[in-house]
Amino acid sequence: MSKRFPLTGLFVLLICAVAVPSTSAQGPTLLESIGQDRPIELAGEPVPLEIFDVRSRYEKEMLLTLWDRPQVLLWLKRSTRYFPYIAEQLRQRGMPEDLKYLAVAESALRPHAGSSKGAVGYWQLMPETARKYSLIVDDFIDERRNLFLSTPAALTYLQELHDRFSSWTLAVAAYNMGEEGLTAEVLEQNTRNFYLLYLPLETQRFIFRVVAAKQVLSNPSRYGFDIADQERYPPPAFDTVDIDCFQEVPIRLIAEAAATHFKVIKDLNPHFRGYYIQAGRHRVNLPKGQWADFQGRLDDILTAFSSSKEMRLYIVRAGDNLSEIAERFGVPLAALMIWNRIGLKHTIHPGDRLVIYARRLEQIPTP
């Protein structure tokens, strides 16, 4: 019988030393990395490192950022995919380009990033804030997940915050903690200098996370990150079409009309939730070259779909439950829920109509 020994502090440190490559092996030492030979600023506003508290908070975020080298590598790879669009939007509005690093600190440039408080998307907008700036957030669409829809909303919000506080640093702080909360702290503490304000700890850290992202991503070679252009992710390429859906449309049929796969449509349109697009007019991103006569192809597919013998309606009877119905027709319970847009907690009643498809796994073509 083998014995189990507790991990001592020294043993844990040894494991960490083996598991995490040292900075000196891939670039400057940690001390060299946080050393500064020139002033640091964010959006044209200086970061006063001569203040001990400011310097210690800056160094903490820099060290934590550089310790997680895989994460920084992903930032660098994603930045070439998303920064060009964000930077162009900032340029058109006359806003500082440094604000693009806000999206890195918020979401690591991930469309489906979410917080426990309900913020979602590249810019981590709360539902009420997103709706205030004309984004759709409901059970079927969440435009916070779409970079090209959410970026203008986030930048308009930031510009309004700057107009209110006359400082980009305070605007970013307000973006994180809310403008009313920041206004209350400014009034109570009698200063408009972010670095002299005592704010919630998350907001105190947030500015320095943005600064750290800027420092590393704007000069990656200094910190030991040398990435060839071909290793970086290219900007997304797609065509956008307006389509009219006279009924609820399965996304798999959108994919079929575009000669592609369900996953491709979902990846190009992360704001569409679930498996269906609701009736109405929608803008849809398609793979490059698939826009010509897309609506015509989709109409033909929908006509065939509506008359298909694959689909049948089942009238719920007394005593039925979803699991038994799925078993009776030999379909997965999860598929039954997808087809009918219902969840496990949904209660069915006698007389309800359920859509059931006769398709079988062996009927799906292999790649």
Confidence bin at 214 (pLDDT 50/70/90): very high
**Phi, psi angles (nearest 5°) of residue 244:** -105, 120
Within a 10 A sphere around the Cβ of 253, how many other Cβ atoms? 19
What pLDDT, on the 0 to 100 scale, is given for residue 26?
A: 54
320 & 352 share domain: yes
What would the mean pLDDT of 108-137 be, rounded to a whole number?
Answer: 96
CATH label of the domain that carries residue 356 = 3.10.350.10
What pLDDT, on the 0 to 100 scale, is given for residue 341?
A: 78
- Domain limits for position 319: 311-363
| Least confident residue range of 27-41, 50-64, 76-90 | 27-41
User: Among 290, 306, 322, where does a domain finish?
Assistant: 306
316 & 217 share domain: no
Question: Burial letters for 276-307: b for 16+ Cβ neighbours within 10 Å, e otherwise?
Answer: bbeeeebebbbbeebbeebeebbeebbeebee
Give tens-digit pLDDT for 144-160.
999 999 999 999 999 99
Q: Is the pLDDT of residue 20 over 60?
A: no
What pLDDT, on the 0 to 100 scale, is given for residue 353?
A: 79
Confidence bin at 352 (pLDDT 50/70/90): confident
What would the mean pLDDT of 202-217 be, rounded to a whole number?
Answer: 96
Q: Which of 91, 98, 86 is nearest to 169 (CA)?
A: 98
What would the mean pLDDT of 6-21 be, rounded to a whole number?
Answer: 42
Q: Is the pLDDT of residue 86 over 50?
A: yes
Give tens-digit pLDDT for 221-241.
989 898 888 999 999 999 999
The answer to whether the CB of 161 falls within 8 A of the CB of 179 is yes
**Phi, psi angles (nearest 5°) of residue 133:** -105, 30
What pLDDT, on the 0 to 100 scale, is given for residue 4?
A: 45
**Phi, psi angles (nearest 5°) of residue 346:** -70, 135
55 & 118 share domain: yes
What 3 state SS string does 95-141 have?
A: CCHHHHHHHHHHHCCCCCCECCCCCECCCCECHHHHHHCCCCECCCE
Q: Does residue 5 lie in a domain region?
A: no
Confidence bin at 22 (pLDDT 50/70/90): very low
What would the mean pLDDT of 70-80 be, rounded to a whole number?
Answer: 95
Please report, as a single letter, which amino acid is at residue 195. Y
44 & 184 share domain: yes
What pLDDT, on the 0 to 100 scale, is given for residue 343?
A: 78
Q: Does residue 36 lie in a domain region?
A: yes
213 & 357 share domain: no
Is pLDDT larger for residue 315 or for residue 93? 93
What pLDDT, on the 0 to 100 scale, is given for residue 11?
A: 42
Q: Does residue 25 lie in a domain region?
A: yes
| Least confident residue range of 9-18, 195-204, 311-320 | 9-18
Two structure tokens written together for 6: 């507790």
133 & 105 share domain: yes
What pLDDT, on the 0 to 100 scale, is given for residue 347?
A: 84
User: Among 280, 306, 332, where does a domain finish?
Assistant: 306
22 & 145 share domain: yes
Q: Does residue 254 lie in a domain region?
A: yes
Q: Does residue 162 lie in a domain region?
A: yes
What pLDDT, on the 0 to 100 scale, is given for residue 367?
A: 59
Q: Does residue 10 lie in a domain region?
A: no
Give tens-digit pLDDT for 237-251.
999 999 888 878 899
Q: Is the pLDDT of residue 14 over 60?
A: no
101 & 248 share domain: no
Q: Does residue 201 lie in a domain region?
A: yes
CATH label of the domain that carries residue 162 = 1.10.530.10
77 & 156 share domain: yes
Residue 260 to residues 56, 141, 330, 335, Cα–Cα distance (Å): 51, 21, 28, 21
What pLDDT, on the 0 to 100 scale, is given for residue 135?
A: 97
Q: Is the pLDDT of residue 115 over 70?
A: yes
99 & 189 share domain: yes
Is pLDDT larger for residue 119 or for residue 28? 119
252 & 211 share domain: no
- pTM for the structure as a whole: 0.80
What pLDDT, on the 0 to 100 scale, is given for residue 18?
A: 39
Q: Does residue 6 lie in a domain region?
A: no
User: Among 231, 247, 282, where does a domain finish?
Assistant: 231
What would the mean pLDDT of 37-53 be, rounded to a whole number?
Answer: 92
328 & 182 share domain: no
Highest mean pLDDT among 91-95, 244-248, 277-281, 314-318: 91-95
Two structure tokens written together for 281: 């007019």
Q: Which of 262, 307, 308 is nearest to 287 (CA)?
A: 262
Give tens-digit pLDDT for 173-187.
999 999 999 999 999
Number of domains in the chain: 3
